[in-house]
A and B are shown apart, each in its own frame.
Chain A
Amino acid sequence: DIQMTQSPSTLSASVGDRVTITCRASQNINNWLAWYQQKAGKAPKLLIYKASTLETGVASRFSGSGSETEFTLTISNLEPDDFATYYCQQYQTFTKTLGQGTKLEIK
Chain B
Amino acid sequence: QVHLQESGPGLVKPSGTLSLTCTVSGGPIFSTYWWTWVRQAPGKGLEWIGEIYDSGTTNYNPSLKSRVTLSVDKSKNQFSLELNSVTAADSAVYYCVRSFGAFDSWGPGILVTVSS
Tell whether B51 is near chain A: CB-to-CB under 8 Å. Answer: yes
Tell whether B103 is near chain A: CB-to-CB under 8 Å. Answer: yes
A36, B46: Cα distance in complex, Å? 11
Whether B106 contacts A43 by the Cβ 8 Å rule is yes
Chain A 80-102 against B: per-residue CB contact (8 Å), 1 yes, 0 no? 00000001010100111111110
Give the dominant DSSP class at B's interface.
strand
Whether A43 contacts B95 by the Cβ 8 Å rule is yes
Whether A98 contacts B48 by the Cβ 8 Å rule is yes
Whether B45 contacts A87 by the Cβ 8 Å rule is yes
Tell whether B84 is near chain A: CB-to-CB under 8 Å. Answer: no
Tell whether B101 is near chain A: CB-to-CB under 8 Å. Answer: yes
Which has the most chain A C-beta neighbours within 10 Å: B45, B100, B102, B106?
Answer: B102
Q: Provide the residues of chain B in CB contact with A96, threshold 8 Å.
A: 36, 48, 51, 99, 101
Tell whether B59 is near chain A: CB-to-CB under 8 Å. Answer: yes
Number of interface residues of B (CB under 8 A): 21
Number of interface residues of A (CB under 8 A): 24
Chain B 25-67 against A: per-residue CB contact (8 Å), 1 yes, 0 no? 0000000000010000000011110010000000111100000
Whether B48 contacts A36 by the Cβ 8 Å rule is no
Whether B46 contacts A101 by the Cβ 8 Å rule is yes
Name the one of A43, A46, A98 contacting B107, with C-beta atoms under 8 angstroms.
Answer: A43
Tell whether A68 is near chain B: CB-to-CB under 8 Å. Answer: no
Tell whether B108 is near chain A: CB-to-CB under 8 Å. Answer: yes
| CB-contacts of B86-100 with A (<8 A) | 95, 99-100
A78, B95: Cα distance in complex, Å? 28
A61, B99: Cα distance in complex, Å? 24
Q: Report which A residues bind B (CB closer than 8 A).
A: 1, 32, 34, 36, 38, 42-46, 49-50, 55, 87, 89, 91, 94-101
Listed from nearest, the 9 A-B pairs whose CB atoms lie closest are A91-B101, A34-B102, A43-B106, A49-B102, A94-B59, A96-B48, A101-B45, A98-B46, A100-B45
Q: Report which B residues bind A (CB closer than 8 A).
A: 36, 45-48, 51, 59-62, 95, 99-104, 106-109
